[in-house]
Amino acid sequence: MPTQPARQLETFPNPAPARDFRIHMEIPEFTCLCPKTGQPDFATLIFDYVPDRRCVELKSLKLYIWSFRNEGAYHEAVTNRILSDLVQATRPRFMRLTARFYVRGGIFTTVTAQHIKRGFKPVRMPEMPLLEPGAPTR
C-alpha cells in the first residue's frame, strides 16, 4: 500500500541530551492551498532547533508536511500551526521555523516563528566555512 499523509509526528530520544546542538532541515516542497482561491501555495520550510529530550523522526515529518497539501491556510496561520505541533511533539530547547512562500500576486511572503524554552540560554555557534569534498583540512 502506498504511503499516505499523516498528522502524527513521531519522535526518538535525543542521542546527546547533555549537549546543545543544532538540527537544521530544509523542506523545499511544502504546499497548501490559498483559502480564498483554492490555488496552490508553494514554500520552502527551514527548521532550526536545539532538541531537549526528543528529536523529530524525519519520515513522520515528511508525512506530516504532506498532510497540508489539500488544506486551505493563510501563510501566517500554517507557519505557526506547524511550529506549535513540532514544539508539542518534541519540547525543544529552541525551535525556529521560517516559511518562504513563493511569489503569488507579485508578492513573496516570509513568515518566521520561534519557540524558546523557559530558562534556555542559547549559545551562539561559531560560523564554520564549508569545505569542498576532497579539500585539504588544516
Give catalytic residue positions.
34, 41
CA distance 61 to 65: 6
| Distances, alpha carbon 15 to alpha carbons 12, 20, 40, 53, in Å | 9, 11, 38, 9
Q: Which helix (H) or strand (E) holds 29?
A: strand 23-33
Opening angle at CA 39, ends 34 and 42, nearest 5: 75
CA distance 104 to 108: 7
